[in-house]
Amino acid sequence: MTIGVLFVCTANICRSPMAEGVFRTLAQRAGLEKAFTIASAGTTSGHAGEPPTPAAVEAAARRGYDISGQRSRAVSNEDIAAADYVLAMDRSHMADLRWMAPRDKTECLQMFTKFGPMPGILDVQDPYGGTQQDYERALDLIEAGCKGLLAALTQEAKAAIAG
């Protein structure tokens, strides 16, 4: 049994693919990758099938995360049903997810920023259309949140691997 982790942003071309790549890499480095099913999706489908933005790929690559093979897709009810943790990058995504989620799955919906040392920050700002510095700032928050998430799930992950 694996722990399903789903990162959600608007179009699945900036924040959520970076989060998926960061979390996957951190889990691999910790030897916990087999404990997780890691994915990302967007609340909209306007960029379905497209790779992450070049700026997102570049920012991630500079820090050792390869997100170039990811492709955008819209979140589905099935994604939510299969996940143990559905992590919204901002409050608008949380509102969309609450509307979509089956009633028995609303407890798995959480704000991504809850897992990082980000007092007073509720949203990971969308860097789309911004500068490379905007992507770097978003990635700073994403790295902090993914490290916190992995720390919070490490015991559960070890138990999942042990069977």
End-to-end CA distance of the chain: 7
DSSP, res 103: G
DSSP, res 88: E
Q: Which residues are catalytic?
A: 9, 15, 126
Q: Positive or negative, the Cα torsion across 39, 128, 126, 80?
A: negative
Q: How many CB atoms lie within 10 A of CB 87?
A: 29
Q: For residue 41, what is the enclosing H or E element? A: strand 36-42
DSSP, res 49: T
Determine the distance from the C-alpha atom of residue 84 to the mean position of all C-alpha atoms in its chain, rounded to a whole number.
13
